[in-house]
Structure 1
Amino acid sequence: MRKIEKTGKSKKLTVYSLVTLVTIVLLQSCGSVPVTGRKQLLLVSDDEVISLSLKQYQEYMNTAKVIKGTKDAEMVARVGQRLASAVESYLSNNGYATEIQKYKWEFSLVQDQSVNAFAMPGGKVVINSGLIPVAGDEASLAVVVGHEIAHVVAKHANERLSQQIALQYGGAMAGNILGGAAASELGQTVFGLGAQVGVMLPYARKQEYEADRLGVIFMAMAGYDPRVSVPFWQRMAESAGGGNNFEFLSTHPTDANRIKQLQSVVPEALKFYTGSTTNQPNASSTNKTSTNTSKDWTF
């Protein structure tokens, strides 16, 4: 009887210790998203996530037809760098200066008629040529680029990978998990370039809404009128209803809830936009952008 009791206590202590260890790991692995402040689970280091995703990105770019030297390619690069500079200025002035060192921004336009775009950890953003005519102007393109940059800044890929680890391994030590074949398998699952939807597997609805919110704030920081975001997404939804191949919409929330959220976020974004007013712009003013891109946002 004594032997059995001792074994039982030992098992209870082992289970308790394991639960305690997992709890400590999870608590130490919590991060928060800039601007929104949402808490998130980050079990994997940024360097590991970038390394995993970079291999997928390079394989994709080796086969993609990159467009260079055209007006559209120059617009993609211009919008991307303008947004990146504004975001880095905000991060630098709000306690996230160390994050900037991890970004190696690249903004590429590739020949692909599907209306799509994606971003990878570390700052690799790809826009398909099919999205350009739908955007129609630089400010509307900034809506999409801002959305993709938001995924990078909010570490949504890291969060999704961490959630996969927690589900499959019960919160085991991430460093051990990512040491072998599991790393490649999880990388394929999370980043999945070329799989199912053509580029990246969809993020959770919560992350997509957060990227929408951050995206319009980021575009406002860069001097683009955030009010163009609502008509842009309405235009995208209407065009998609005509039977076009809109992969970008197929993996993102497209119902009335998205438009409703954007309408509620625009007033918040206007606080970051120089020269903004409380009145809704008319059709001609929504395509204009502010020339002020140098403001250092500090809050």
Structure 2
Amino acid sequence: MKTLLKSLIVIGILVVSCAKNPFTGKSTMAFKKNSDIFPAAFQQYNQFLSENKVVKGTSDAKRIETIGMKIKAASERYLTANGYSDYLNDYKWEYNLVDSKEVNAWCMPGGKIVFYTGILPVCKDDAGIAAVMGHEVAHALANHGQQRMSAGLIQQFGAIGTALAAEKYLPKYQNEAMQAYGAASTVGGMLPFSRAHESEADMIGLTLMAIAGYDPINAVKVWERMSAQSEGKAPPEFLSTHPSNQTRIDELTALLPQAKAEAAKFGVTFK
């Protein structure tokens, strides 16, 4: 029981270790500082680049970098205007295009971004790239990697507590208890947590692309093209780390007026 109590105390400490999301004003889990996380992320990013074919000097590679810098500038404008001028001090932005058929893009903590060539046809044009770039930059700005680490640790401590309780009270069913906990904590906890991050990144990214001068309606168009391409291939939403394509289309469409209103504060308007 003492070990279980200690585990619960640690969980409690982690839960109340919070940071503030400058885009939503909400408190988020943060048991490690960015200064602890970023160096390892930068190292992993460099290792990935060394092991994959990075596209350099092409028009597409230049577009990725140019649009990335515009989205970064938009984030700086937003954060400075809202009293977070020092927020990006530890970020080291980098944008690379990697030769791969995979339809994907991602961002490491601290602003290290990769676009795969396979996603460019879905992006279609600069505005489509800006939509995806805004989403990936948003993940970095909202420290979603930091939060996933926090949630993962809480899940691990919950597993320890479940194992100890099952050993004491249900010794014959310990394996079943652990399996049930694993399924429940994943489907009922980690997956919804991940989907919430994706929706939040969509919302923030929509605002950033608008401030950068790209009509946010193009984010909706990207996901319409993504939906058409992946029809019948996606798992049910409740078993996925991402919202369904239709959910994203609906949410982005509803957020268009908000994104345009934010952009208008910076003198950027759309017809």
TM range, normalised to the smaller chain?
Answer: 0.7 to 0.9
User: 5 Å matches for 1:155-174?
Assistant: 155-169=143-157
After superposition, the Cα gap between the structure-2 partners of 1:101 and 1:91, relative to the gap in structure 1 and judged at 3 Å, is: same
| CA gap 1:230/1:21 in 2 versus in 1, 3 angstroms | closer
- Where does 1:197-216 land on structure 2 (aligned, <5 Å)? 204-216=194-206
**Correspondence 1:233 to 2:223:** yes
SS of residue matched to 2:76: helix
Q: What is the match of residue 82 of structure 1?
A: 70
Q: Does 1:153 align with 2:141?
A: yes
Task: For 1:208 and 1:159, locate their aligned partners in 2 and report how far apart those are by CA, in whole Å.
Answer: 13
Distance 2:257 2:71 in 1: 19
Residue 28 of structure 2 corresponds to 40
Aligned equivalents of 2:38 and 2:7: distance in 1?
30
Distance apart, 1:137 and its partner CA: 0.6
1:266 aligns with 2:256: yes
Kept in 1, the 8 Å contact 2:195–2:241? The answer is: no
Alpha-carbon distance in 1 for matches of 2:109, 2:40: 9
Equivalent residue letter for 1:258: R
The 1:24–1:242 alpha-carbon spacing in structure 2 relative to 1, beyond 3 Å, is: closer
Shift of 1:204: 0.6
Task: Specify whether residues 275 and 59 from structure 1 end up closer, same or farther in structure 2 by C-alpha distance, changes over 3 A only.
Answer: same
Amino acid at match of 2:244: T
Name the CA distance, whole Å, in 2 between partners of 1:255 and 1:21.
Answer: 37
- Are the equivalent residues in 2 in contact too, given 1:40–1:159 (CA < 8 A)? yes
Partner of 2:161: none
Deviation at 1:252, TM superposition (A): 2.9
How far is the alpha carbon of 1:135 from its aligned partner? Answer: 1.1
Determine if the alignment matches structure 1 residue 51 to structure 2 residue 45.
no
Q: 1:16, CA displacement in angstroms? A: 8.5
| More RCO (CA 8 Å, sep 6+) | 1
Structure 1 vs Structure 2 CA RMSD: 2.9
SS where residue 32 of structure 2 aligns? Answer: coil
CA drift of 1:127 comes to: 0.2
**Offset at residue 51 of structure 1 (A):** 2.3
Change (3 A) 1:255 1:130: closer
Corresponding residue of 1:129: 117
Structure 1 position 20, deviation (Å):
6.8
Kindly indicate whether the alpha-carbon contact (under 8 Å) linking 2:11 and 2:154 is maintained by their aligned counterparts in 1: no
Query: Hey, what does 1:96 align to over in structure 2?
Result: 84
User: Is the 8 Å Cα contact of residues 14 and 150 (structure 2) preserved in structure 1?
Assistant: no
Q: What do the CA deviations read for 1:105-150 (whole angstroms, capped 9, x no partner)? A: 0000011111110000111000001111221110011010000000
How far apart, in 1, do the equivalents of 2:44 and 2:241 lie? 19
Percent identity for Structure 1 against Structure 2: 38
In the alignment, what sits opposite 2:179? none
Number of residue pairs aligned between Structure 1 and Structure 2: 231
Could you tell me how far 1:240 is from its partner in structure 2?
Answer: 2.0
Q: TM-score, normalised by structure 2?
A: 0.77
Question: Tell me, which stretches of 5 or more residues in structure 1 are unaligned?
Answer: 1-10, 171-200, 245-249, 278-299
Show the counterpart of 2:104: 116
Q: In structure 2, how many angstroms separate the alpha carbons of the residues matched to 1:71 and 1:45? A: 37
Counterparts in 2 of 1:20 and 1:108: CA distance versus 1, 3 Å? closer
Match in the other structure for 1:185: none
- Cα displacement (A) at 1:203: 7.1
Greater C-alpha Rg: 1
CA distance in 2, matches of 1:265, 1:138: 21
Unaligned runs of 5+ in 2: 159-190, 235-239
Does the Cα contact within 8 Å between 1:92 and 1:100 map onto a contact in 2? no
The answer on 1:275 being equivalent to 2:265 is no
Change (3 A) 1:116 1:251: farther
**Inter-partner Cα distance in structure 1 for 2:141 and 2:34:** 11
Offset of 1:15 from its aligned partner? 9.2
Please give the secondary structure, in 2, of the residue aligned with 1:220.
helix
| 2:212 matches 1:218 | no
| Aligned-pair CA distance for 1:21 | 7.5
Q: Which residue of 2 aligns with 1:179?
A: none
